[in-house]
Amino acid sequence: MVFDQPPLGSPVEHEHATAVLLLGALSVFCCGALGPIAWALGRRALNEIEEGGGRFGGRVQVLVGYVLGVVGTCLMVVFACIFLLMAISGRA
């Protein structure tokens, strides 16, 4: 009989944990267009970590990258609106 128990030992870091963190940080500091990618990839990785039952680690990295991706996306939208308003007013 097979039981669905978490594996023994320390969990393996999720394969996208570092990528989500890097994309989220880059979206805030230099390229806002990476924000939606970090947002989507982070959401998927968080779901896999939750469903994994302790098999995957790196939840904190993924969560920080996910939040940074959301912030980077919001900043990108705000700056795009400001730029658009400046362009419409003729001051750009």
pLDDT digits (tens, 9 = 90+) for 38-63: 999 999 999 999 998 888 889 999 99
Q: What pTM was computed for the model?
A: 0.82
Among 7-11, 70-74, 87-91, name the most confident range.
70-74
The secondary structure of the chain, three-state, reads CCCCCCCCCCCEECCCHHHHHHHHHHHHHCCHHHHHHHHHHHHHHHHHHHHCCCCEECHHHHHHHHHHHHHHHHHHHHHHHHHHHHHHHCCC
Structure tokens at 92: 């750009």
Q: What is the C-alpha R_g of the chain?
A: 18
